[in-house]
Amino acid sequence: MAREISPGSPVEDLATPAVLIDVAVLDRNIAAMGAAARAAGVRLRPHAKTHKLPEVGRRQLAAGASGLTLAKTSEAEVFADAGFDDLFLAYPVVGLGKPERLLALAGRVRIAVGVDSLDGARALAAPFAAAGRAVDVLLKIDTGSRRVGVRPEDAPALAVALAEVPGLAFRGLFTHAGHTYGAETAEAVRVAGEGEGAALARTAAQIRARGVDVAEVSVGSTPSARHAMRVEGVTECRPGNYVYHDATQVSLGTCGLEDCAMTVVATVVSVPERGRAVVDAGSKTLSTDPLRPHPGGHGFVLGRKSRLSRLSEEHGVIDVVEGESFRVGERVRILPNHACVVSNLHDEVIAVKDGRVAEVWRVAARGMVQ
Ligand SMILES: Cc1ncc(COP(=O)(O)O)c(C=O)c1O
């Protein structure tokens, strides 16, 4: 059985591996993005994929966020149950039973859904139309990430068609500039962010010219947020990762190490030879998501130059650089490559204040795949 974790106990007493959230850094990140959105004059609707925690979502709303963004229907159900009443599913919700579940959700919270096809939108709208209701939809625009979403030039015709589907209320456009994670320089991030905002604002104007109202123009990824939100015509921003940051954001130059709220505490379980140490945090703890924009191991070992070079499920292998050493039983702090996937791997995270356990947060929306 896992050891009981008592509030007030020092981090040094926690069994490992464990995921720690530094509450002071978390609150500072939340406040900073809230202030940036206010200064830009846009609403902030953070993506809760990063934390999957009602406790953090409440902190974001308290700091001025207008609502939350999620991806999956089951995540929306968890957050609605936790009392959140304004949710956007920034994902093409397509599939058996999903529209009906969204109709049920729409009976108790304000919900909007992303679409990128007429077929998907019609399927989504059917139960709403049958119930004499309409679901708010935002059309996903691909501004460079080449994942889901229609190209800007294809959006006006689709928006006109969507506006005529019974059971739908066309509310606007959204995009996610995932391609900023491949940007090599701060300048490239700025150009991508401004391009993201400009493409969306331009597309909104073209749709309005066809007589369809576009109330929401929603942008956002953590690297691009501060640039995209300042573009004229943008109304909303949806960064997610900024609450915790991670090794990828540090590598991209989005933030410094001191802005990273999530770390993993691990124990060195083996030092089989000079140059190699092994910790008890492997892919089950850290995931195998690569460092971006360039591959560079599986997480930073804080305070050391040595990096985690290899993971298997239960083992994290550190390549020990010249001049550094590790000893069996030593505890290390790891900054993960990608915080969002780490949240999804753990039942609970430990909120830490001044080096002591403040609270244990159950990751209520982890593992919600449907
Ligand atoms: C649609 C959408 N919006 C917003 C975000 C938040 O982006 P980030 O985690 O870079 O802040 C994501 C992340 O994947 C996303 O897919």
Other Cβ atoms less than 10 A from the Cβ of 192: the count is 24
Tens digit of each residue's pLDDT (9 = 90 or more) over 334-345: 999 999 999 999
Burial class (CB in 10 A: 0-12, 13-18, 19+), 329: exposed
Mean pLDDT to the nearest integer, 37-46 = 98
Confidence band, pLDDT 50/70/90 cuts, at residue 4: confident
Task: Name 81's Cβ contacts closer than 8 Å, sequence gap at least 6.
Answer: none
Strands 276-279 and 262-273: antiparallel
Ligand 1 atom at minimal distance to the Cα of residue 242: 11
pLDDT digits (tens, 9 = 90+) for 168-211: 999 999 999 999 999 999 999 999 999 999 999 999 999 999 99
**Residue with CA at minimum distance from ligand 1 atom 15:** 176
The answer to whether the peptide bond before residue 17 is cis (omega within 30 degrees of 0) is: yes
Is residue 79 a contact partner of residue 365, using CB atoms and an 8 Å limit? yes
CA-nearest of 44, 55, 33 to 88 is: 44
Q: Measured in angstroms, how far is the CA atom of residue 219 from the centroid of ligand 1?
A: 9
Distance, in Å, from the CA atom of 17 to the CA atom of 71, rounded to the nearest integer, reads 28
pLDDT at residue 3, as a whole number: 64
To test the pocket of ligand 1, the residue of 30, 44, 47 to mutate (highest count of ligand atoms within 8 Å of its CB) is 47
Enumerate long-range contacts of 224-227, CB under 8 Å, 24 or more apart.
224/177, 224/180, 224/189, 224/192, 224/193, 224/196, 225/33, 225/36, 225/193, 226/36, 226/193, 227/189, 227/190, 227/192, 227/193, 227/194, 227/196, 227/197
Query: Mean pLDDT score of the chain, rounded to an integer?
Result: 97
pLDDT, one tens digit per residue, over 105-142 is 999 999 999 999 999 999 999 999 999 999 999 999 99
Q: Whose CA is nearest to atom 7 of ligand 1?
A: 221
**ω into 293 cis (within 30 of 0):** yes
- The pLDDT of residue 143 is 95
Q: Answer whether residue 358 shows pLDDT above 90.
A: yes
CB-ligand 1 contact for 240 (6 Å cutoff): yes
CA of 71 to the centre of ligand 1 (A): 9
Indicate the pLDDT class of residue 5, thresholds 50, 70 and 90: confident
Does the Cβ of 222 fall within 6 Å of ligand 1?
yes
* pLDDT band at 298; cut points 50, 70, 90: very high
What's the CA gap between 58 and 63, in Å, rounded?
A: 9
Span from the CA of 164 to the centroid of ligand 1 (angstroms): 29
Phi, psi (degrees; rounded to nearest 5) at 70: -140, 175
What percent helix, strand, coil does the chain show, rounded to 5?
A: 35, 25, 40
Is the confidence at residue 2, as pLDDT, over 60? Answer: no
Nearest protein CA to atom 16 of ligand 1, as residue: 176
Residue 1 pLDDT greater than 60, yes or no: no
In the predicted model, what is the mean pLDDT of residues 25-51?
Answer: 98
For ligand 1, whether the C-beta of 149 sits within 6 Å is no
Atom of ligand 1 nearest to the CA of 220: 4
Percent of the chain with pLDDT over 90: 98
